[in-house]
Chain A
Amino acid sequence: GAVVSQHPSWVICKSGTSVKIECRSLDFQATTMFWYRQFPKQSLMLMATSNEGSKATYEQGVEKDKFLINHASLTLSTLTVTSAHPEDSSFYICSARDRAFSTDTQYFGPGTRLTVL
């Protein structure tokens, strides 16, 4: 149980294009999903918290117009990197919190490696 998937697992795109990353909870309903970014040899950085049916809450310094988050259902959240640039190249990881349990356990997806040329 508690499986989270991400798609795609890796993507290479040209500078200026937009990239959409999907995060799905496969066997549970997620009240809340989280988006993280991790640069090589650095720690996880929380970008935003996404609640189903409401606007995402972005961490300080994260541009909400550049990183569009949509949480349309209890099993799907998407992150769109708009007008991507080489400095956006990173490992993007989502996590989800299980609605059925009154715990704060977050289950992580496998991550999406984005390379912007």
Chain B
Amino acid sequence: QKEVEQNSGPLSVPEGAIASLNCTYSDRGSQSFFWYRQYSGKSPELIMFIYSNGDKEDGRFTAQLNKASQYVSLLIRDSQPSDSATYLCAVSSGNTPLVFGKGTRLSVIA
């Protein structure tokens, strides 16, 4: 069974710090990796996707992928209170539904 693991948190970081969110996956054949943000009571919102090993940067967000270690992470620089949400890691192995982790709750403290 394909699994995606995340620490449930909460992860608390002070405003302005770097938040580091981690995710591991079990299917070595996984090809695409996604980070979604979900505010309480709202639906998930796509933040970033990454396909290749290494780093991908978009504004304050950096996704990091290491396929050998089956590990993907999301760094949020200059964290703001508005970044407080649950972050979902999702993995795809092809033309199948995304497999989601249970999410990490991030709390940015002003």
Q: Which of B13-21, B61-69, B94-102 contacts A (4 or more CB under 8 A)?
A: B94-102
Q: Is the interface of B mostly helix, strand, loop or mixed?
A: loop
Cβ–Cβ contact B43 & A110, under 8 A: yes
Bound CA span A44–B102, Å: 8
Cβ–Cβ contact A44 & B42, under 8 A: no
Interface positions of A from 85 to 117, Cβ below 8 Å from B: 91, 93, 95, 103-111
The count of residues in chain B whose C-beta lies closer than 8 Å to any C-beta of chain A is: 23
What does the 1/0 interface line of B69-110 toward A look like (CB < 8 Å)?
Answer: 000000000000000000010101011111011110000000
Bound CA span A29–B34, Å: 21
Cβ–Cβ contact A43 & B103, under 8 A: yes
For B49, give the chain A residue with the smallest CB separation: A105
Interface positions of B from 43 to 71, Cβ below 8 Å from A: 43-46, 49
- Say whether, besides A49-B97, A104-B94, A105-B34, A44 and B45 are in contact (CB < 8 Å): no
Name 29 A/B residue pairs within 8 A (Cβ), A-sorted.
Answer: A34-B97, A43-B101, A43-B102, A44-B44, A44-B100, A49-B97, A91-B41, A91-B43, A93-B43, A93-B44, A95-B44, A103-B49, A104-B31, A104-B32, A104-B92, A104-B94, A104-B95, A104-B98, A105-B32, A106-B46, A107-B46, A108-B36, A108-B44, A108-B45, A108-B46, A109-B43, A110-B43, A111-B42, A111-B43
A residues bordering B, Cβ < 8 Å? 34, 43-44, 46, 49, 91, 93, 95, 103-111
B residues bordering A, Cβ < 8 Å? 31-32, 34, 36, 41-46, 49, 88, 90, 92, 94-98, 100-103
